[in-house]
Amino acid sequence: MTRKQKRLSVILGGLVFLGAATGLTFYALGQKASYFYMPADLATATVQPGQRIRLGGLVEKGTIQRGQGATVAFSVTDTHKSVKVTYTGILPDLFREEQGVITEGTFGPDGVFVADSVLAKHDERYMPKEVADGLKAKGVWQESKSE
């Protein structure tokens, strides 16, 4: 092979490789990215049972129920609508009533959201960004709450 042909084959090989990697990346983005919803968004969105999503909002006052063992049930609300969530495991340290929270998991057939991870704020000063933005959009956020 001449130098030119060699270089061409290397470039072609690289392109095929990159193409495959790009294809895989976009396939994975389509399949594996999880969308964020607030309870009121769920009325318009079509979320299949079993589809992984993240559900965020405030932990509704008076809804935290500790069941058997390590299972906890609570409701996540955006003050317009609320969704019942169950979770088995240890809740984050900053998980409290009327505080921002993001849960990740899937809807069961009974309409209860089964979370496999619960994230609260990292710091008492901040609200999870998605939740803060969502609450602002719904007009229930007061700036004073952030401090």
Partner 1 sequence: MVETGHFALVLAFALSLVQTIVPLFGARLNNQRLMAVGGPVAVTGFALTALSFAALASAYASSDFSLANVWENSHSLQPMIYKITGTWGNHEGSMLLWVLILTFFGALVAAFGSNLPASLRANVLAVQGAIGAAFFLFILATSNPFIRLNPAPIEGRDLNPILQDLGLAIHPPLLYLGYVGFSICFSFSVAALIEGRIDASWARWVRPWTLVAWMFLTGGIAMGSYWAYYELGWGGFWFWDPVENASFMPWLAGTALLHSAIVMEKRSALKIWTLLLAILTFSLSLLGTFLVRSGVLTSVHAFATDPTRGVFILCILTLFIGGSLALFALRASRLTAGGLFHPISREGALVLNNLFLTTATATVLVGTLYPLVVEALSDDKISVGAPFFNLTFAPLMVPLLVMVPFGPLLAWKRGDILAVAQRLMTAFAAALLAMLVTALFISGATVLAALGVGLAVWLVLGALTDLAVKAGLGNVATGIMVRRLLGLPRSVFGTALAHLGLGLTVLGIVGTLCFGTEKILSMHPGETVDLSGHTLRFAGIYPAQGPNFSEDRGRFELIGPAGNPVGEISSAKRFYPVRQMTTTESGIKTLGLSQLYISLGDEGKDGAVVVRLWWKPLVTLIWGGALVMMAGAAMSLMDRRLRVGAPSRRRKQADAAATAISP
Between CA 13 and CA 3 the distance in angstroms is 15
Residue 18 DSSP one-character state: H
| CA distances in angstroms from 5 to 8, 19, 94, 99, listed in the order given | 5, 21, 62, 64
CA atoms within 13 A on the CB side of 60: 16
In angstroms, how far is CA 90 from the centroid of its own chain? 18
Piece of the chain touching partner 1 by CB under 8 A; list 77-85, 88-96, 108-116: 88-96
Query: CA-to-CA distance for 23 and 13, rounded, in angstroms?
Result: 15
Q: Which stretch binds partner 1 (CB under 8 A): 12-20, 76-84, 106-114?
A: 12-20
Query: Is residue 36 close enough to count as binding partner 1 by CB under 8 A?
Result: yes
Residue placing its CB nearer to partner 1 in the complex, 6 or 61: 6
Q: Is 94 in the site for partner 1 (CB under 8 A)?
A: yes
Residue 88 or residue 108: which is nearer to partner 1 going by CB? Answer: 88
| Residues in touch with partner 1 (CB under 8 A) | 3, 6, 10, 14, 17-18, 21, 24-25, 27-29, 31-36, 52, 54, 66, 69-70, 88-91, 93-94, 104, 122-124, 126, 128-130, 133-134
